[in-house]
C-alpha cells in the first residue's frame, strides 16, 4: 500500500509535483500515467525518500519508506536502469545491495535466474544493453521480495518478449497480493497491464479511476455518416449540442447524436445513407483528450508557415 498525501515538489519557481493525493492498493497493478515531464519519476523518488518533498507526505505500508527497519523488504524499485556502477558485475551489484539488509547470497542467485541474467551475471554492468540493464534493475527491485513494487517505465528498451515477460511478472505479483505501481506514458501499454490508473499532468492529479471508467469518461463515441445528399442531411441534424465535422466530400463525423437518431432522421426525410457507423476513439486518443491541457512539451505548428500558406 502506498499513500500519497498533498505531495508537492518545487524546484525554484517550477512546480514539478503539485499537491498530489492518491492511494495505491495491494492486489492490483496500478498504472501511473502521464505525458513526459508530468512529475511521475519525481513522485516515485519522493515515495522512496530519494527526493525530499517541498510539502506533503508519502508512506509505504503505513510509514515513510526511510523509517522501515528493512526498506528493501517493504518496497523494491526500478527507478532508472542506470542506477548501477558501470564497473561492477551484476552479481556483485546485487550482492552489495543484499548485504545491507542481510538478504542471503542464495536470494541474489534466485533473482538473477528470475530475470534471466544468469549468463552475464559476472560481466561488467557497463557493457549491458538497455534491456539487460532493465532486467538488472528489476532483479534489484525483487531482491527483498517486497510487498510493494515501484517500477518507472519498466518496459523501456525491452524487446517484445521482454515486454510480455514484465507484463506477466507484474500481474503475477499483483495476484499474490503485492502492490504494483508502474509508470508509463503509453496508455495502450497500461490498458493491457493495469486495472487502476492514476493519471497526472503538469504535476497535478487528473484522474484516479479504474481502467474501464477512465476509457468511458474520457471517450465520447461519434458517428460517421456518408450520403450522396450530405448537404441536406447536414441541415437536418445540425443543432444545439451537436457538432458536425466534415471528413471528406459526402461524409461527416457527428458527435452529440446517436447513430439511431441520425438514421431515423435521414429515413424520415428520405435521404439515402451509404454509411452509418459508430466510431470508438482509441485509448491513446482518450488519454490525449484527457491530458491535452496538461502536456508539458508539445509540437506546435509554426505560425510563419501557417501565414505563408494562407497568403499563397
Residues within window 189-248 making contact with other proteins, judged by CB under 8 A: none
Residues within window 125-164 making contact with other proteins, judged by CB under 8 A: 140, 142, 144-145
CB 296, min distance to other proteins, A:
20
Rounded to 10 degrees, the C-alpha dihedral 110/115/119/120 comes to: -110
**SS3 of 128, please?**
coil
- Angstrom distance (rounded) from CA 282 to CA 211: 13
- Angstrom distance (rounded) from CA 267 to CA 152: 54
DSSP 163: H
Q: In the numeric block, which cell numbers belong to residue 231?
A: 448537404
The kind and range of the H/E element at 20 are: strand 14-24
Say whether residue 118 binds other proteins (CB under 8 A).
no
Task: Select the residue interacting with other proteins from 10, 92, 171, 234 (CB under 8 A).
Answer: 92
DSSP 311: H
Say whether residue 35 binds other proteins (CB under 8 A).
no
CB 104, min distance to other proteins, A:
6
Say whether residue 120 binds other proteins (CB under 8 A).
no
Distance of CA 48 to the CA centre of its chain: 19
Say whether residue 93 binds other proteins (CB under 8 A).
yes
Q: Is the CB of 55 or the CB of 277 nearer to other proteins? A: 55
Rounded to 10 degrees, the C-alpha dihedral 121/125/129/130 comes to: 110
Q: Is the CB of 24 or the CB of 237 nearer to other proteins? A: 24
Q: In the numeric block, which cell numbers belong to residue 24?
A: 495505491
Best CA proximity match to 198, nearest among 173, 172, 176, 179: 179
Q: Is the CB of 16 or the CB of 290 nearer to other proteins? A: 16
Say whether residue 96 binds other proteins (CB under 8 A).
yes
Task: Select the residue interacting with other proteins from 36, 55, 62, 66 (CB under 8 A).
Answer: 66
Best CA proximity match to 58, nearest among 148, 183, 175: 148
Task: Select the residue interacting with other proteins from 8, 26, 56, 95 (CB under 8 A).
Answer: 95
CB 281, min distance to other proteins, A:
38
Task: Select the residue interacting with other proteins from 19, 49, 56, 116 (CB under 8 A).
Answer: 49
Query: Contact 108/143 with Cβ under 8 angstroms?
Result: yes
Q: In the numeric block, which cell numbers belong to residue 159?
A: 524487446
Say whether residue 175 binds other proteins (CB under 8 A).
no
Q: Is the CB of 113 or the CB of 221 nearer to other proteins? A: 113
Say whether residue 252 binds other proteins (CB under 8 A).
no
Residues near other proteins (CB under 8 A): 45, 48-52, 65-66, 69-73, 77, 79-80, 82-89, 92-93, 95-97, 99-104, 107, 110, 114, 140, 142, 144-145, 172-173, 176
Amino acid at each position: 500500500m502506498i499513500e500519497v498525501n498533498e505531495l508537492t515538489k518545487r524546484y525554484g519557481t517550477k512546480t514539478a509535483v503539485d499537491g498530489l493525493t492518491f492511494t495505491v492498493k495491494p492486489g492490483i497493478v496500478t498504472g501511473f500515467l502521464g505525458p513526459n515531464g508530468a512529475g511521475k519519476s519525481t513522485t516515485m523518488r519522493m515515495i522512496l525518500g530519494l527526493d525530499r518533498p517541498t510539502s506533503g507526505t508519502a508512506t509505504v505500508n503505513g510509514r515513510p519508506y526511510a523509517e522501515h527497519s528493512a526498506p528493501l523488504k517493504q518496497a523494491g524499485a526500478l527507478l532508472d536502469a542506470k542506477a548501477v556502477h558501470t564497473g561492477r558485475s551484476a552479481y556483485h551489484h546485487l550482492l552489495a545491495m543484499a548485504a545491507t539488509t542481510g538478504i542471503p547470497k542464495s536470494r541474489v542467485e534466485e533473482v538473477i535466474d528470475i530475470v534471466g541474467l544468469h549468463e552475464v551475471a559476472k560481466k561488467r554492468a557497463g557493457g549491458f544493453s538497455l534491456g539487460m540493464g532493465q532486467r538488472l534493475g528489476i532483479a534489484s527491485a525483487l531482491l527483498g521480495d517486497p510487498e510493494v513494487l515501484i517500477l518507472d517505465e519498466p518496459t523501456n528498451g525491452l524487446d517484445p518478449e521482454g515486454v510480455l515477460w514484465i507484463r506477466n511478472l507484474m500481474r503475477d505479483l499483483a495476484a499474490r497480493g503485492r502492490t504494483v505501481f508502474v509508470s508509463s506514458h503509453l496508455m495502450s501499454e497500461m490498458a493491457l497491464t493495469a486495472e487502476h490508473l492514476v493519471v497526472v499532468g503538469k504535476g497535478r492529479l487528473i484522474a484516479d479511476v479504474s481502467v474501464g471508467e477512465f476509457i468511458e469518461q474520457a471517450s465520447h463515441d461519434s458517428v460517421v455518416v456518408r450520403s450522396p445528399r450530405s448537404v441536406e442531411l447536414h441541415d437536418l441534424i445540425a443543432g444545439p449540442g451537436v457538432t458536425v465535422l466534415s471528413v471528406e466530400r459526402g461524409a461527416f463525423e457527428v458527435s452529440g447524436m446517436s447513430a439511431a437518431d441520425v438514421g431515423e432522421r435521414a429515413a424520415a426525410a428520405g435521404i439515402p445513407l451509404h454509411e452509418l457507423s459508430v466510431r470508438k476513439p482509441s485509448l491513446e486518443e482518450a488519454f490525449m483528450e484527457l491530458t491535452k491541457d496538461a502536456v508539458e512539451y508539445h509540437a506546435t505548428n509554426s505560425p510563419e508557415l501557417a501565414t505563408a500558406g494562407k497568403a499563397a
